[in-house]
Structure 1
Amino acid sequence: MTISADAKQLLERDRLAVAGIEKLRFFPIAVQSGKGSWLTEMGGRKLLDLSSTWTACGLGHGHPALIEAMTKAAQNPAGAGGLSAAHPDSVGFAEELLAFVPGKGDRRVYFGHAGTDANEVVFRSARRATGRKRIVTFKHGYHGGLGVAMKVSDVHIAAGVEADPDLFLATYPNPFRPHVTGPDPIRASLEATIAEIDTELAKGDVCCLMAEPILSDGGLIVPPRGFLSRLLEVCRKHDVLLAIDEVKMGLGRPGVMHAFQLDGIVPDIVTFGKLIGGGLPLSAAVAPAWLIDGPPASALLTTAGNPICTAVGRQVMRTLKEEDIPARAKRAGDRFLAGLRALMADSDVIGDVRGEGLAIGLELVKSRDTNARDRLLTTKVVYRAFELGAVVHYVGGNVLEITPPLVIEDSEIDLAVDILEQSIKDAVAGKVSDETVAPFAGW
C-alpha cells in the first residue's frame, strides 16, 4: 500500500503541530471525510470503518437526521452552554434522557463533554453525598482520561498513572480466561468476584461501585450472564451505589438499548458519552437527585449542555428508537459473529470470538493449544487490515475491538470478515514487519 502525498503531508503537519499526549495511533491514517460505514483518506482511498471512532460515530458518518438537527441548532444558537441559562434543547435533552433511561424516584441529569467528566462527577458526588471515600472499579477497566476518573481506571494505572488512594480494583470475570479453576470455572470465577466485592463493601466505607457492562478497553470481555444482577444484589446488601458506565457499550450496540438490560437490572446511576452526541462532545450522567442536584456550581464546564450538542443528543435518542437500532445491531452482530467464528474454525491463532450485538472481540493468540496472548501479531493484523482497506483497533493487548457503525449493511459485514481473514493470514505469513509497526504502539 502506498500512502498518498496528501496523506503524508497531513501526517507530517500533525506530527509537528498536535500534542502527542493525546494521540493513540495504530497506523498512518489521515482521514478527509466519512459517509455511512466508510471513511475516505486524504488522496481518496476508502476504508471500511470497524471502530466508529471508538463507538462515538455509532450511527455512522453523516447521518442525515443528525446533520439536520445540528444545522438547525447552529443557525439560531441559544448561547453556548447551559451553565447560567436554560434553553429548550438542554432542558429537553435532560427530560427526554430521564424518560429514555429506566429508573425510579427523583432523578436529575448532568451533562458534559465526554464520558470522562460524566464519570468524574459521579465519583466526586458519591464521595460528597455519602461521606464515604472508597471507590470500587475493576481491573483492566476504563472510566476516563482525567482526574479521579483516570485514577480509578486500571488501563491508565497499568500505564503508570498514580491510582486513587481510596480505590479497590476488583477482578472482572472473564469466561475465556477464568481466574478460578474447577469443574465449572466460569461460574466459580463469577462467585469469586462477588465474594471479593462483598468483602470490600462490608467494610462500610465504599461510596460507589462502577462497572462496565462489557469490559471494553480491557479486552472486550463479555461477562457471564448474571454478573450485573449479582453486583446489584451485593450493592443493595451493603447500601452502596451501583453505577453502570454505558459510555462505550450502550445505546443499542449490544442488541438492547442499554447494556445493563442484558441482565434485566436497573442501576442507581448510568453514564453516557460517545454515541450520545453523535460524534459531537456530549456526555451525561443520570442519577438520583440527592446525589447530583448540588451544591450549585460544583461541576462547571462553560459550554456543557450547549444547544448544538444537546439538539443532536435529542435526535440520537429519537433515531435509536425510530430506526430500531438495537434490533438492527442484534441482527448485524449475529451475522458478524457467525462469519468470524467460521474463520476461527480454520485458524490456530484466533483464540476466541465473543460479543453482544455489534460489540465484538476477536482474541489473537500464539496457538490455541496454549491461548498465550500475541500482542505483536495483533498489532500486525490491525496494520494489515488498514492496508487492505479497514479500520479496526485492538484493546487489551491482543483483542481486535470490532465496533462498526450500527447501520452497517450485510454486504459490508461480509467484506469486513474477508478483510480480517486475509489480514490474519498475511500477518501470520510475515507480510508485516516488526519495523513497520514499531511506531504504532497503540495502547
Structure 2
Amino acid sequence: MTTLYERDAAVIAGVEKLRFFPLEVVEGRGSLLYDPDGRELLDLSATWTASGLGHGHPAVVEAVTRAVRTAPGSGGLSAVHPDSVGLAEDLLALVPGSGERRVYFGHAGSDANDVVLRACRNASGRRTVLAFEHSYHGGVGLAMAVSGQQVDAGHEPDPDVVFLPYPNPLRPRTGDIDSTVDEILARAREVLATDTIACLIVEPILSDGGLVVPPDGFLARLHALCREHGVPLVCDEVKVGLGRPGLLHAFAHDGIEPDIVTFGKAIGGGLPLSAAVGPAAILDNPPASALLTTAGNPICTAVGRAVLRTIVEDGLPERARIAGERLMAGLRDVQDGRGADRGRSAERIGDVRGRGLAIGLELVAGRDGLEPDRELAQRVVYRAWQLGAVLYYVGGNVLEITPPLIITDDEVDRAVAILDRAISDAIAGVVTKEEVAPYVGW
C-alpha cells in the first residue's frame, strides 16, 4: 500500500520541501499532532512558529467559520471590509510608534519583507540594504536576496546589500562579546555614514541562522545609530514575535520602537497572512506597486484579529515566559549531566539559549571545543521524531525548540525527557547515517 509520504514524493514539487524525517500528519489538537496510524507526536516546532496558538484553537475555528460563511469577496485589492480595516487598527494599537502610519497585508513574511525593502528604496532614492550574515527574511524577491542564510545556500545576493556579522555570545568574533559588538556597530556606523542606505533590516533573535540571542542592548545601540543617520530600522518579527519571546514583541526586550515592523507565521494562526506596520510616507508609495489579489482577505484577517486578541487576553506572552523558563531549566539540567542518561547527552550540548519559547540547543562535537556537529543534529531530530516529538535544526547544528504558546507544564517536561533520550540515542548510534540520508534538511 502506498504511504502518504510516497504519494507526496510523486506529486509535490521538491522546490518547496525541507524535510528532516518522513513526517505524515492528518490531525492536530493543541500541542499534539497525529499521524495516519494515530500515533501522537508532541509538536516542538509549531510549524516553524506559524501555529503559535497550537492546532485547532477554538478562537481560530470560530473566526474561520464565521468569515467563510459571510465572506464579502476574497481580498482587499479593490474593496474594503471590516476585518481588514479592523486588523490594521488592531496592529496599530499593539505596535508602538508615532506619526501617521499604515499597515500592509500579504500572505507570508517573505512578501511583507520584500514590499517593505522595496518601499524603503523608493522613499529614500537609495539602493543599499544593510542586513546581517546568516539572516533569513524570505524566499522570494529582494527579501530572499538580502537573506544571509539564502546567500549561504548559494542564492544570488542583491548587488546592493551589505552584510554585517550578527553578534553570537557563544562564538564572539574577537574573543570577547563586548568588543565584538563594538566592532559590529563601528562597521555599521561606517556604512551608514555613506548616505547610501535605504534601510537596515534585522531579526531581534537570529532564527534560521542558529537561534542566536544577541547581547542585551545590542538592538538599542543599533537603533540609535540608525536614528543618528536617518535610516529606517526594519525589525523582522516574523518568526520570533507575537508573544513567543515572553513579551508581545521581541524588540521590546531592548525597549526600542522600530520604524517598521514585519509580521508573518503566527499572525495567521496557520493561514497565509503577513503584515508590516510603518510610516505612511514609506508604505503608501508608489500606489498599486505591491498587488496580491487575495491579500487582506476576510478569512485570513478575521483569523489574524482572533489570534491577536487571544494572545493579549489569554496572557500568552507571560505563559511563554514561564513555560520557556521551565523548558530551558530542564534542558540545562541535561546539559549539566543531570538528565536521565546521567551525562551522555551533556557531553554534546554546547549551549542552551533563548527567550520565552524561542529556544536553541546547540549540539557540538565536544563541549570544550564547541565544534558544530551537523550530523548529530540530523540524527537527533530524526530520533526525536521516532520517540514522538517534532522539531528541526537551524544554523546547521542547533535544535530549534519553538512549541505552541499554549504548551502545558506536563508537555514541557515530556519534551525535555524526549530530547534527553534522543540526544543520548543518537550519540549511541541508534539512528544510522543511512536512515537519515534521504532527509537532507538545510
TM-score bracket, shorter-length normalisation = over 0.9
Q: 2:119 aligns with which of 125, 136, 148?
A: 125
How far apart are the structure 2 equivalents of 1:254 and 1:67? 25
Tell me, yes or no, if the aligned pair for 2:145 and 2:158 is still in contact at 8 Å: yes
How far apart are the structure 2 equivalents of 1:9 and 1:335? 38
- Tell me the alpha carbon deviations over residues 261-292 of structure 1, each in whole angstroms, 9 at most, x when there is no partner: 00000010000000001010000000100001
Q: 2:26 aligns with which of 29, 32, 39?
A: 32
Do residues 41 (structure 1) and 35 (structure 2) align? yes
Q: 1:267 aligns with which of 253, 258, 262?
A: 258
Q: 1:64 aligns with which of 41, 52, 58?
A: 58
Q: 2:317 aligns with which of 307, 326, 337?
A: 326
Task: Report the identity percentage.
Answer: 61
Aligned match of 1:306 = 297
How far apart are the structure 2 equivalents of 1:363 and 1:295? 44
Aligned match of 1:156 = 150
Please list every run of 5 or more consecutive structure 1 residues that lacks an aligned counterpart in the other structure.
none
- Tell me the alpha carbon deviations over residues 141-195 of structure 1, each in whole angstroms, 9 at most, x when there is no partner: 00000000000011111111100000001000000111112xxx11111111111
Q: 2:180 aligns with which of 179, 189, 210?
A: 189
2:91 maps to amino acid: L
**Cα RMSD between the aligned structures?**
0.7
- Tell me the alpha carbon deviations over residues 333-375 of structure 1, each in whole angstroms, 9 at most, x when there is no partner: 0000000000001111000000000000000000012010000
Q: Secondary structure at the match of 1:137?
A: strand
Q: Secondary structure at the match of 2:227?
A: helix
- Tell me the alpha carbon deviations over residues 376-435 of structure 1, each in whole angstroms, 9 at most, x when there is no partner: 001000000000000010000000000000000000000000000000000000111011
Aligned match of 2:128 = 134
How far apart are the structure 2 equivalents of 1:416 and 1:297? 47
How far apart are the structure 2 equivalents of 1:89 and 1:295? 24
1:393 maps to amino acid: Y
Do residues 284 (structure 1) and 283 (structure 2) align? no
How far apart are the structure 2 equivalents of 1:188 and 1:296? 44
Q: Secondary structure at the match of 2:3?
A: helix
How far apart are the structure 2 equivalents of 1:359 and 1:246? 12
Q: Secondary structure at the match of 1:174?
A: coil
How far apart are the structure 1 equivalents of 2:206 and 2:32? 26
After TM superposition, the score normalised by the length of structure 1 is 0.97
Aligned match of 2:341 = none
How far apart are the structure 1 equivalents of 2:427 and 2:126? 51
Q: Secondary structure at the match of 2:62?
A: helix
Deviation at 1:118, TM superposition (A): 0.3
2:153 maps to amino acid: A
How far apart are the structure 2 equivalents of 1:285 and 1:365? 37
Do residues 76 (structure 1) and 70 (structure 2) align? yes
Do residues 175 (structure 1) and 169 (structure 2) align? yes
Aligned match of 1:218 = 209
- Tell me the alpha carbon deviations over residues 311-331 of structure 1, each in whole angstroms, 9 at most, x when there is no partner: 000111100111000000000
2:156 maps to amino acid: E
Deviation at 1:196, TM superposition (A): 1.0
How far apart are the structure 2 equivalents of 1:287 and 1:256? 20
Q: Secondary structure at the match of 1:348?
A: helix
Please list every run of 5 or more consecutive structure 2 residues that lacks an aligned counterpart in the other structure.
338-345
Deviation at 1:294, TM superposition (A): 2.1
Deviation at 1:42, TM superposition (A): 1.1
Aligned match of 1:395 = 394
Q: Secondary structure at the match of 2:131?
A: strand
Aligned match of 2:195 = 204
Aligned match of 2:329 = 338
Tell me, yes or no, if the aligned pair for 2:123 and 2:285 is still in contact at 8 Å: no
Q: 1:116 aligns with which of 91, 100, 110?
A: 110
1:257 maps to amino acid: L
How far apart are the structure 1 equivalents of 2:286 and 2:141? 19
Aligned match of 1:372 = 371
How far apart are the structure 2 equivalents of 1:74 and 1:227? 44
How far apart are the structure 1 equivalents of 2:425 and 2:3? 28
How far apart are the structure 1 equivalents of 2:438 and 2:10? 16
Aligned match of 1:356 = 355
Q: Secondary structure at the match of 2:350?
A: strand
- Tell me the alpha carbon deviations over residues 85-142 of structure 1, each in whole angstroms, 9 at most, x when there is no partner: 0001111111111111111000000000000000000110000010000001100000
Q: How many residues align?
A: 434
Deviation at 1:295, TM superposition (A): 2.0
Tell me, yes or no, if the aligned pair for 2:122 and 2:286 is still in contact at 8 Å: no
Do residues 256 (structure 1) and 255 (structure 2) align? no
1:411 maps to amino acid: D
Tell me, yes or no, if the aligned pair for 2:164 and 2:187 is still in contact at 8 Å: yes
Q: 1:241 aligns with which of 232, 236, 240?
A: 232
Q: Secondary structure at the match of 1:231?
A: helix
1:301 maps to amino acid: L
